[in-house]
Structure 1
């Protein structure tokens, strides 16, 4: 804006130096129009561009020619703000207007101002060579302005794209971290439920048996209390391991590894000690995948815990684990005369469904047609 106003005043003053033929009011009107174009080029870019194309032509016809700077600013701004196609379209329009303006300027007879101390001379009509020379200068200036504008615009758009990409990657990283935290909390909650619910159920069952045998069979009661203490210590160790996995300030945990399918015999023995006779049948070659082994162990553990907690008058339970080449099936069935599951079974069944879903499996849990409760699960394996 300041550069244009300074140039317009200087060119207007030089055009008014005697002898002159250029009136004052057209230069004032063109100057006001040029200021309006520059002031509104950001808010009204299309209108400003149209004004920047028309005013230079009018200025070359009957003004000081200072408004030619508006066309240079217009093509430069188009290169900065718009894409390459729009920028070169603006350049083409400016070249057409420049051709008209150069033709009008060379056709009119005007007094050239004495710029840089040069003596004024008359241009009576002009020739084709004058038009070619003037248009060549206009074309060169417009081309340079367009190239500078497109180069700067491309650089700015590239920087904005890099910034947007960095922000998008940062958001995706934060979302992935939050998702990982949620999944980890779900995993820990599932593990805590399996460990604590199973252990408390076993401890309660053993304690009830010890209380019933305390008067008549004190030795058996003492053994039962010892098993309660052993179960409690083992549960405390597993809880510490689970909590230690989320403690980042005390180094890696040193507790025992998570159970797998090879410990099903110990699990069945523990339930038998709690008063639930369990028959275990395992066929096939077990998987070497520790995660799959843990899933099988937790499904059997949760199913037997539900039997011990909810079933009434249980005579026995059967666990059948069949390892196939591409899958593993689990069947847990109790032979109780009746089953009374609570209306709110907590996270037990939901936890089993979530574990099975990780292996594209299916699970069914419900009363069996011959009585009792039956849990059937099938999980896909990839190491077979």
Structure 2
């Protein structure tokens, strides 16, 4: 056996031994998880699965969009362009958590040790305006590892990127990374903005396009040109059929673009998209019917309407229950529970469950027929 193989086996043994000790003493996989409440008394916001990090700057981009410049803690690993993460900060004694895409490139993190998250202030929102004010002079937050599959596809297939509003953030990361890494694949970005004042990162995108012949940026002023259409597609990117289509933005825009490009002959496996918000609920109308949902622990039975379907999380909340939830878009898994029977639709994947017992996420699941939940 080689020295390298011996080292790997030793490390594996030590890891299993440490886990056994932790489970024996604390009933946790890590001793740090057992000590977490005590550590939080001295270091608020500290968790075993998030990394304590520092916000260095809040940079205004437009009237309602700002960028957090963050130095992640040493345990934080890098990321792939297009991924998102969870940021948690303390507000009046309670922890507030939200998911945002990383708008800077991995190359920027490698060079500076910093990442950027560009955030639109949600009208009537509780957290997005507060984050801007809370970190105006810097401060401490915690970050989760980066995750997500809306990233540059492997290979050299040309790309058509269609963005709307703050859906531009993953594309900023991707295009900046392509420029920094010398990625020569052809990429064309159609960026739909409300007006000229809301053309995020305009100077930066124009510089990237000027310096890289394989990258083209087209700003589409919706006030003048309207929403995405087949005419826009044919005029601005006539070779779209050869490209992988990537879409990110508000839900109505994504639905529109998906529909238009599909009608123009783009196959489903050549379309990638990521919602900025909850995925729409689209029940198969042929199979849809009203369903009873039994929340066993809560002692509540509720009707899920086929005409106006809502997620199981919303249905629980409408009936006075308060299940644990975080992101509400299927990312954080805090609302995971056990479905004991019945069929649900996963609105994120579009897949129907089996009828038997399995774990589901309340925020992205809709009852298709009568369902019993361990909630």
TM-score bracket relative to the smaller structure: under 0.3
- Greater per-residue strand proportion: 2
- TM-score, scaled to structure 2: 0.18
- Bigger Rg, which one: 1
- TM-score, scaled to structure 1: 0.18
